[in-house]
Amino acid sequence: MKRFQQCWMSWLGFVVLSGQVVLADDKLTPDQLTFFESKIRPVLSRECYSCHSAQVGQIKGGLWLDTADGSRTGGDSGPAIVPGNLDESLLWNAINHIDYSMPPRKKLSDEVLADFRTWIEMGAPDPRSQSEASVQSTISAADIEQGREFWSFQKPHAQTVPVSDSTWPMTDIDQFVLEKLASHDLRPAPDAEPAILLRRLCFDLVGLPPTPEQLKRFETDWQLDSQAALEKVVDELLAQPQFGERWGRHWLDVARFAESTGKELNLTFPHAWRYRDYVIDAFNSDKPYSQFLQEQIAGDLLPVKSDQQWASNLVATGFLALGPKTLTEKNPRQFELDLIDEQIDVTTRVMLGVSVACARCHDHKFDPIPQTDYYALAGIFRSMSTHFGTFETQQNRRATNLVVSPVADLGPLDKPISKQQLDDLRADLETKRAELRTAYQERRMQQTNPANAKGKPGAGIAQVGLLSTAIGMLEAKINSYDENGKPLTYCMAVQATAPVNARLLERGEFNQPAQEVERGFPQVLCEQPISISKKSTGRLEFARWVGSAENPLTARMMANRVWLHLFGNGIVRTPEDFGTTGTAPSHPELLDHLAIELMENNWSIKGLIRSLVLSRTYRTSSRFDQASFEKDPENNFLWRIEPKRLEAEVLRDSMLAISGKLDTDRPRGSLVAQAGQAIVRDGILVSAVATGEAKMNEPPRRFRAQNGGPMSGDNSLRPTIQSLDEPTNYRSVYLPIVRDNVPRSLDVFDFAESTMVIGQRETSNTPDQGLYFLNNKFVIEQADVMAKRLLDQSTNVNEQLEQAFVLAYGRPATSSELRAANSFYRSFRPTSSTSSTGAAKSGNALRGGRDQGLEKLSAVCQAIMASAEFRFLN
């Protein structure tokens, strides 16, 4: 109930106090003790424990009354007991049957009620404080000291570059690689052909195929001066906005980016796209990686020069807010602990490559990370509030407010509404609330006396569900405007709260608190102990330490990740585990060399990528060699470039690129933003009211009728439906990423699971992928459009076919490929009686001019897109 009046955070930076643990007072007088034991405890035990005790029964409503701590923390609705304050004590409210009725269907005697009044008024003295266990770690200071000997827990060492008399190496990187190859009696592969190299560069750097013009230019330049040609094309690609879209997506994979909560109750995050754009922009502007990390952990606390920078920093902290959420969790404390756990897990694994979250329940089993280290970090993360949004429903008790951006950023369709419209919405809300109260009463009637209740059994319950969802959505809508009806700009973010420590929880159980642990960082990663001032939450310090050369892992982690995306495998093949359970680096010296280069070059990611792709190693062919394979089957030492299966986004974008349909402009927002606060169901978003976020470049067609636009002036709660399958031509990174509802074109090719940290995608090979290329409507449409493009360019069939290969493969076709294409083209009879209806349905581009040539060409184009060459990168 309390959250009905949502207090929206002002940009002035409110401080929201999270529920703090109030420890039971140890010093009870004998009288107080006697009173509690004789008058209070028996009643609680008899009347309440069966539903509100973790030890005896359940914890309905998240409330457990069998400890002083639990009673004061309270459940979903708030603290059950506020010592000395009857009005604030919900237990008092409930036993008097005011808003709540407890025990259900029974009122306690006046005498008992009087006892409770006395007890609460005297300060609710309660001896049931839990014995404060002190959990001793089995990991000693000496263990930690010894743990620092492990390679990855030591800062990168400056390396002497090996020298060889071979003419092969062109850069320091090559020297390191050659040395390892030679020591394993291996030799590097010959250089790749220029066309293959260009294709590799285009896909690796911007995720799009080279155009025929690009290829021509590159080959001409290459003849003159290969090195200059390479440098030129690399610099061009790095400067394209498509670079950030490609490399930003790699980051979104590890940041488990998505635009909904996932899990049983899947609600949208309509503002998550701002984080997505922030990441893309950061890669495009080559933001120093250290700063990039700091902003994501503590953007709300970093000093800023402008409101713009502040707004951007707030959006960056969305990193901590957009994880999957179990909104249906009944226990608020459990929810808070799980939230913090997810934040610790993702932060340490993504940024440091160690899994600190393993120490939630017990000391880390493999790395020297005691359980106390986990709770030291938990204190830091506890001293903040996380604003992920969602709206309240009967099932969702965990909704939070969002943070208003200091800079308004409204889309062209974020239109203000009139004061009248706003008032109407408020009036509607009041009506709905009144209806809900009636529905509650009816439900109570049905429960207490089913025989006398009006209507069908269960109708009251269903009505309560519908109304509370409608109210939640309506509130969300009203809150998306300021007092004058002007749309507000929100972001998902975190905000600092008063600094608190966390208490260690035995076995990680919420009701087993042990000693309090001072806020701090994982000890094994700190050469010098780091102390955090009592007044500081420690998060800013943590962010600065993570994004610095002061810890041994950050630079290595990222250097390895960049390497992985370019060479197919990491130097450390477990990119998110640099601990003792991870694999050892194949080239430890090279990894340190790269990490130091990254740090010394102002943490420039573009700089690192540039030096890697300009190495001789990157230039080598992917050609197979039996003798080398037998010596090094995993290609640990890079005797060739590892062939890569292209990712889902790259395949979709490439089809659009070669058909000529690719829209390279960034759409504003996302389809999810357009739908606003909504429930996700089987590939559609159901919302009562759209929030007024901008329409995408291509507004939905099929569902426009139901949608009614963002603000049609219609205040009824008629649900609007937004399909997630809207056909769009913009880049795949901008497709809606809704948990458990990933678009087919991404899902079929191993898209990163958005509830997990994915450092390296899987590359499966399934008949489902075959079905996709053979039968999918989007694929067939692209083939049609591509065929049309080829027909427009030339009337000569041979030229059309040749051009199709150049577009798709980034190289001229071989003579046997051309022969095969020609023979297929000549013999294929596209139109048959059975296919004419199908063609009319799916082939928009073919409508009208039913040209055999066009249809034949489309079949050729589809086949080329379906072929393995299109899908693999050599």
Partner 1 sequence: MNTNGYRVIPNRRQMLQTISSGFGFLAFSSLATLAAADDQESSRNPLAPKAPHFPAKAKRVIFLCMRGGPSHLDTFDYKPELAKHDGKSGKFRGTVMKSPWEFQQNKKSGLWISELLPKIGAMSEELCLLRGMHTDQPVHPRAMTQLHTGNAQFVRPSLGAWTLYGLGSENASMPGFISISPAPGTAQNYGSAFLPAVYQGTTLGGSSRRAGAGQAAARFRGPQSDGQVPDIRNPRYDSKQQRQQLDFIQRLNGEKLKRDVDQPGVEGVIESYELAFRMQTAMPELMDVSNESQKTLDLYGIGNGPADSFGKQCLLARRFAESGVRFIEIEHGNWDTHNNMSNQLPNLCEQIDQPIAGLLTDLQRRDMLKDTLVVWAGEFGRTPFGQNGDGRDHNNKGFTTWMAGGGVKGGFSYGATDELGGEAVEGKCHIHDWHATMLHLLGLDHTQLTYRYAGRDFRLTDVAGNVLTDIVA
Near partner 1 in 666-685, by CB under 8 A: 682-683
Measured in Å, how far apart are the chain's first and last C-alpha atoms? Answer: 60
**Which residue among 758, 785, 790, 806 contacts partner 1 (CB under 8 A)?**
758
The answer to whether residue 820 forms part of the interface with partner 1 (CB under 8 A) is yes
**Which residue among 10, 227, 285, 766 contacts partner 1 (CB under 8 A)?**
766
Neighbours of 344 (CB within 10 A): 22
Calculate helix-pair angle for 554-567, 289-298, nearest 10 degrees: 110
**Which residue among 776, 791, 812, 853 contacts partner 1 (CB under 8 A)?**
776
Q: How far is the CB of 74 from partner 1 (least distance, A)?
A: 18
Which residue's CB is nearer to partner 1, number 203 or number 521?
Answer: 203
The answer to whether residue 377 forms part of the interface with partner 1 (CB under 8 A) is no
The answer to whether residue 874 forms part of the interface with partner 1 (CB under 8 A) is yes
Span of 29-37, 171-179, 390-398, 856-864 interacting with partner 1 by CB under 8 A: 856-864
**Which residue among 185, 600, 714, 747 contacts partner 1 (CB under 8 A)?**
747
Span of 70-78, 79-87, 180-188, 505-513 interacting with partner 1 by CB under 8 A: 505-513
The answer to whether residue 636 forms part of the interface with partner 1 (CB under 8 A) is no
Which residue's CB is nearer to partner 1, number 795 or number 827?
Answer: 827
Q: Where does 745-804 show beta strands of DSSP type E?
A: none
Contact present, 386 and 343 (Cβ < 8 Å): yes
**Which residue among 143, 221, 281, 817 contacts partner 1 (CB under 8 A)?**
817
Which residue's CB is nearer to partner 1, number 202 or number 859?
Answer: 859
Contacts of 806 (CB under 8 A, 6+ apart): 212, 215, 812, 813
**Which residue among 218, 335, 481, 510 contacts partner 1 (CB under 8 A)?**
510
Q: How far is the CB of 474 from partner 1 (least distance, A)?
A: 26
What three-state secondary structure class fits 352? helix
Which residue's CB is nearer to partner 1, number 63 or number 494?
Answer: 63
Measured distance CA(325)–CA(819) in Å, rounded: 55
Q: How far is the CB of 787 from partner 1 (least distance, A)?
A: 13
Measured distance CA(513)–CA(554) in Å, rounded: 32
Q: How far is the CB of 649 from partner 1 (least distance, A)?
A: 16
Contact present, 397 and 332 (Cβ < 8 Å): yes
756-785 as b/e: b if 16+ CB within 10 A? ebbbbbeeeeeeebeebbeebebbbbbbbb
The answer to whether residue 624 forms part of the interface with partner 1 (CB under 8 A) is yes
Contact present, 212 and 198 (Cβ < 8 Å): no
Exposed (0-12), middle (13-18) or buried (19+): which is 158, by Cβ within 10 Å?
exposed
The answer to whether residue 740 forms part of the interface with partner 1 (CB under 8 A) is yes
Span of 379-387, 441-449, 493-501, 832-840 interacting with partner 1 by CB under 8 A: 832-840
The answer to whether residue 762 forms part of the interface with partner 1 (CB under 8 A) is yes
The answer to whether residue 847 forms part of the interface with partner 1 (CB under 8 A) is no
**Which residue among 30, 412, 529, 767 contacts partner 1 (CB under 8 A)?**
767
Q: How far is the CB of 550 from partner 1 (least distance, A)?
A: 31
Span of 80-88, 186-194, 310-318, 504-512 interacting with partner 1 by CB under 8 A: 504-512
Type and span of the H or E element at 93: helix 90-95
| Strand bridging mode 679-681 / 684-687 | antiparallel
Residues 297-336 that bind partner 1 (CB under 8 A): 334
Give the x/- contact pattern for partner 1 in 448-487, rule: CB under 8 A: ----------------------------------------
Number of residues this chain uses to bind partner 1 (CB under 8 A):
82
Contact present, 202 and 613 (Cβ < 8 Å): no
Contacts of 848 (CB under 8 A, 6+ apart): none
Span of 69-77, 245-253, 282-290, 817-825 interacting with partner 1 by CB under 8 A: 817-825
Span of 288-296, 414-422, 691-699, 838-846 interacting with partner 1 by CB under 8 A: 838-846
**Which residue among 30, 816, 826, 848 contacts partner 1 (CB under 8 A)?**
816
> C-alpha distances in angstroms, 182 versus 87, 162, 188, 358, 625?
79, 12, 9, 40, 16
Residues 637-666 that bind partner 1 (CB under 8 A): 643, 645
The answer to whether residue 841 forms part of the interface with partner 1 (CB under 8 A) is yes
Contact present, 782 and 807 (Cβ < 8 Å): no
Look up residue 512 and give its two tokens: 């087993």
Which residue's CB is nearer to partner 1, number 227 or number 765?
Answer: 765
Span of 301-309, 380-388, 728-736, 841-849 interacting with partner 1 by CB under 8 A: 841-849
**Chain centroid to CA 528:** 33
Q: How far is the CB of 634 from partner 1 (least distance, A)?
A: 7
3-state secondary structure 659-717: HCCCECCCCCCCHHHHHCCCEEECCEEEECCCCCCCCCCCCCCCCHHHHCCCCCCCCCC
Contact present, 547 and 555 (Cβ < 8 Å): no
**Which residue among 450, 838, 847, 852 contacts partner 1 (CB under 8 A)?**
838
Type and span of the H or E element at 494: strand 493-496
The answer to whether residue 229 forms part of the interface with partner 1 (CB under 8 A) is no
| Strand bridging mode 493-496 / 384-387 | antiparallel
Give the x/- contact pattern for partner 1 in 32-71, rule: CB under 8 A: ---------------------xxxxxxx------------
**Which residue among 234, 824, 850, 853 contacts partner 1 (CB under 8 A)?**
824
Contact present, 556 and 117 (Cβ < 8 Å): no
**Which residue among 741, 760, 782, 800 contacts partner 1 (CB under 8 A)?**
741
Q: How far is the CB of 848 from partner 1 (least distance, A)?
A: 17
Which residue's CB is nearer to partner 1, number 396 or number 862?
Answer: 862
Residue 473, φ and ψ in degrees, nearest 5: -65, -40
The answer to whether residue 505 forms part of the interface with partner 1 (CB under 8 A) is no
590-605 as b/e: b if 16+ CB within 10 A? bbbbbbbbbbeeebbb
**Which residue among 433, 828, 850, 853 contacts partner 1 (CB under 8 A)?**
828
**Which residue among 32, 71, 728, 769 contacts partner 1 (CB under 8 A)?**
769
The answer to whether residue 580 forms part of the interface with partner 1 (CB under 8 A) is no
Contact present, 266 and 754 (Cβ < 8 Å): no
Span of 156-164, 298-306, 708-716, 750-758 interacting with partner 1 by CB under 8 A: 750-758
Span of 149-157, 382-390, 503-511, 702-710 interacting with partner 1 by CB under 8 A: 503-511
∠ CA 688-694-697 to the nearest 5 degrees? 120
Span of 99-107, 299-307, 405-413, 763-771 interacting with partner 1 by CB under 8 A: 763-771
* Bond before 103 cis per omega within 30 degrees: yes
Contacts of 553 (CB under 8 A, 6+ apart): 152, 153, 351, 352, 353, 354, 525, 578
Which residue's CB is nearer to partner 1, number 78 or number 743?
Answer: 743
The answer to whether residue 507 forms part of the interface with partner 1 (CB under 8 A) is yes
The answer to whether residue 748 forms part of the interface with partner 1 (CB under 8 A) is yes
The answer to whether residue 190 forms part of the interface with partner 1 (CB under 8 A) is no
Look up residue 289 and give its two tokens: 């990686």
Q: How far is the CB of 64 from partner 1 (least distance, A)?
A: 9
Contact present, 478 and 694 (Cβ < 8 Å): no
**Closest-CA residue to 344 (of 297, 301, 413, 291):** 297
Residues 332-371 that bind partner 1 (CB under 8 A): 334, 365
